């Protein structure tokens, strides 16, 4: 595919964007606590501009001192931060990209602990069970806030930005006014459609007035709120038309959902790219101004079709731009085999954003650390032992820095336990990640040796300057009577063992639940027994919603708070927290999914043979792949 549509320029108001690839505004916590963008911020955005994104959108930027949603949110409510924004804008302009700054008041999704002020919203309706009840913002304060939006836009303009994006989505302040579900006001900002749209109209008018009409203005809206009584795609079409015809918006960025259903804001792997295309198409029919679509776009094939067919004008790649800033360049150069795809794991991005910590990425732990990747001072011979995600990533970065690298994996296939994680329903993109790592290693000249177990003797023979031990972990087998009668979930997923029709899965964490889903989809009758009080306790919330729904649909039975005390040919015995005992019988197969234990028998032996020895990932302690790739990066940058 040549992606001819995606590489056509397009005009949005006063700016011409060189292509249709847009980087989403995403909170990253790289900003300073005083609201300035940091050097780290500039490097992060500059890397995406150099990667070929035509329009870079800076993350939600606070327009009002009383509405700062987190400790490291960038701010434009003071002239003091203009210079820092100018530096980040310049980094993008140098690479040929245009820049838009998203302007936001977090409203009921804010953080009163950070600001010291109560949350504000259209009406006193909390965003969810975990948030406080906001105050209905006064009419007087609204008019002050409108001026703040114009002032912030002027500061963005002074910093060199080409556009601003007014955040009118996701249940934040402006969104809370637009939706009937959250707007119960009786002043000029409540009631009928035009009153509910008064706030965005006055904000856009104020921005135009203060910037002289020379700054492009984009509005981010919800194509659907995904909650009962919230905005539907038809409502969104009316909002879109009003923003164009009555408010003078230059473009629309169509997102989706409020935080009650954030599985549709930052979709897990189960949701494929373009899942919100229907909402966007409805809005595209309603307006003449450019429309930007967003929603789990990773590879650009469907994006090309959306633009080519006139169903959208630009495509925003959110987490994919975090996972691989070079996506547009790779698409242009026909090198998509080297793409590092976002796998929708939601391990390092969204959770860190909410915790106020710098985001990271399982696929690309270099995110936010772009300045640290420099050529090695001296070329060394590096040996990597283990071909899971940690080993592959370590080998890739070492080679990228100029070292001579060889990787040894004792199994015939690369990927480690992460390879098997691609087998459950909705997880196929993980295989794309593994293939991307393999292809990038090959492209950098890494020598990949599979089916070869690295021993101390082999290391001595090869005489490397440095060794990275990434031998991963093995399934955990506890000393429980009869446990040898069970089969391992890894062998089931790998096709080495086919269980019978009735299956008991012992262990109800992520591996156990996904194995149960895998078997349920195939028609097995599955039960799961788990020590903890709930199934899927370690599964990310966005994915868990879909996983638990699937388990219910497949009729998977769960027993929780149960400690397995014995294994038998057709089941297990167990003890409950209250001291009672029970037994599961009549099973054709018992599948073990109780976790993993580290696998490192080499590192101590190697300390006397090699000057530099690094142990990363599960070889240290069984954890997440996020930890493995981060530690792999640290090791690779240290050599």
Backbone angles phi, psi at 341, to 5 degrees: -80, 140
> Alpha-carbon distance 323 to 343, whole Å?
9
Cα of 584 vs its chain's centroid, Å: 39
> Alpha-carbon distance 5 to 7, whole Å?
5
Token pair for 626? 């996020």
301, burial (CB in 10 Å: exposed 0-12, middle 13-18, buried 19+)? middle
Contact 593, 539 (CB under 8 A): no
Q: Which of 181, 165, 171 is nearest to 120 (CA)?
A: 171
- Other CB atoms within 10 Å distance of the CB of residue 501: 12
Q: Which residue has the tokens 């399934």?
A: 475
CB half-sphere exposure, 136, CA atoms < 13 A: 13
Q: Which residue has the tokens 């996506």?
A: 327
What is the DSSP-derived secondary structure letter of residue 37? Answer: P
- 120-147 burial: b if 16+ Cβ within 10 Å, else e: bbbbebebeeeeeebebbeeeebeebbb
Backbone angles phi, psi at 135, to 5 degrees: -85, 145
> Alpha-carbon distance 409 to 421, whole Å?
18
Contact 199, 189 (CB under 8 A): yes
> Alpha-carbon distance 480 to 565, whole Å?
6
Cα distances (Å, whole numbers) of residue 250 to 25, 149, 290, 413: 18, 17, 7, 51
Q: Is 27 helix (H, G, I), strand (E, B) or coil?
A: coil
Q: Which helix (H) or strand (E) holds 151?
A: helix 139-158
Q: Which of 430, 471, 400, 464 is nearest to 636 (CA)?
A: 400
What is the DSSP-derived secondary structure letter of residue 75? Answer: B
Contact 514, 498 (CB under 8 A): no
172 is catalytic: yes
| Inter-helix orientation angle 277-284/233-245, to 10° | 40
Measured between its terminal Cα atoms, the distance across the chain in Å is 39
> Alpha-carbon distance 510 to 215, whole Å?
48
Contact 250, 218 (CB under 8 A): yes
> Alpha-carbon distance 259 to 69, whole Å?
14
> Alpha-carbon distance 471 to 390, whole Å?
9
Q: Which helix (H) or strand (E) holds 317?
A: strand 314-317
Its sign, for the CA torsion 530, 531, 535, 538, is: negative
Length of the chain: 639
> Alpha-carbon distance 479 to 384, whole Å?
32
Backbone angles phi, psi at 101, to 5 degrees: -110, 120
Q: Is 572 helix (H, G, I), strand (E, B) or coil?
A: strand
- Active-site choice (172, 264, 297, 396): 172
Just list the catalytic residues: 172
């Amino acid at each position: 595919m040549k992606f001819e549509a995606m590489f056509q320029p397009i005009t949005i108001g006063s700016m011409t964007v060189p292509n249709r690839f847009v980087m989403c505004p995403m909170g990253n916590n790289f900003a300073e606590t005083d609201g300035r963008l940091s050097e780290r911020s500039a490097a992060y955005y500059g890397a995406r501009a150099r990667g070929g994104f035509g329009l870079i959108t800076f993350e939600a930027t606070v327009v009002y001192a009383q509405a700062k949603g987190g400790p490291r949110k960038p701010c434009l409510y003071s002239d003091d931060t203009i210079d820092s924004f100018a530096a980040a804008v310049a980094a993008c302009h140098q690479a040929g990209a245009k820049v838009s700054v998203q302007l936001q008041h977090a409203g009921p999704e804010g953080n009163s602990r950070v600001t010291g002020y109560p949350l504000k919203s259209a009406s006193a309706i909390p965003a969810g069970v975990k948030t406080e009840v906001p105050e209905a913002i006064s009419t007087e304060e609204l008019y002050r806030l409108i001026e703040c939006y114009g002032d912030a836009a002027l500061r963005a303009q002074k910093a060199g930005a080409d556009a601003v994006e007014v955040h009118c989505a996701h249940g934040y302040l402006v969104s809370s006014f637009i939706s009937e579900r959250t707007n119960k006001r009786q002043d000029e900002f409540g009631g009928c459609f035009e009153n509910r749209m008064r706030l965005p109209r006055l904000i856009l008018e104020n921005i135009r007035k203060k910037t002289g009409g020379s700054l492009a203005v984009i509005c981010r809206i919800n194509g659907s709120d995904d909650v009962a009584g919230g905005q539907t795609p038809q409502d969104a079409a009316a909002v879109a038309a009003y923003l164009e015809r009555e408010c003078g918006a230059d473009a629309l960025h169509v997102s989706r959902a409020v935080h009650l259903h954030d599985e549709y804001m930052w979709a897990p792997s189960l949701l494929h790219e373009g899942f919100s295309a229907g909402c966007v198409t409805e809005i595209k029919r309603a307006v003449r101004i450019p429309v930007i679509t967003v929603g789990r776009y990773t590879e650009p094939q469907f994006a090309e079709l959306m633009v080519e067919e006139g169903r959208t004008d630009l495509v925003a790649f959110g987490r994919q731009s975090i996972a691989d800033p070079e996506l547009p360049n790779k698409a242009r150069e026909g090198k998509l085999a080297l793409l590092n795809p976002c796998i929708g794991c939601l391990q390092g991005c969204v959770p860190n954003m909410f915790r106020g910590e710098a985001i990271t990425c399982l696929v690309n732990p270099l995110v936010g650390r772009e300045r640290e990747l420099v050529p090695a001072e001296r070329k060394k011979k590096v040996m990597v032992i283990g071909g899971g995600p940690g080993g592959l990533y370590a080998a890739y970065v070492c080679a990228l820095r100029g070292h001579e690298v060889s990787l040894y994996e004792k199994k015939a296939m690369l990927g480690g336990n992460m390879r098997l994680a691609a087998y459950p329903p909705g997880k196929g993109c993980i295989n794309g990640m593994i293939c991307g790592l393999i292809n990038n290693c090959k492209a950098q000249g890494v020598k990949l040796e599979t089916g070869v177990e690295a021993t101390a003797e082999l290391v001595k023979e090869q005489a490397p300057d440095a060794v990275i031990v990434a031998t991963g972990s093995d399934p955990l087998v506890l000393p429980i009577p009869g446990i040898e009668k069970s089969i391992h979930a890894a062998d089931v997923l790998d096709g080495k063992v086919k269980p019978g029709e009735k299956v008991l899965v012992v262990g109800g964490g992520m591996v156990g639940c996904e194995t149960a889903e895998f078997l349920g989809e195939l028609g097995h009758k599955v039960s799961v027994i788990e020590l903890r009080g709930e199934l899927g306790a370690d599964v990310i919330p966005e994915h868990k919603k879909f996983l638990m729904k699937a388990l219910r649909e497949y009729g998977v039975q769960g027993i929780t708070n149960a400690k397995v005390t014995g294994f038998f040919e057709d089941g297990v015995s167990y003890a409950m927290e209250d001291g009672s005992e029970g037994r599961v019988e009549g099973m054709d197969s018992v599948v073990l999914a109780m976790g993993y234990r580290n696998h490192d028998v080499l590192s101590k032996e190697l300390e006397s043979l090699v000057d530099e020895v690094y142990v990363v990932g599960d070889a240290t302690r069984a954890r997440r792949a996020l930890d493995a790739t981060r530690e792999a990066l640290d090791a690779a940058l240290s050599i």
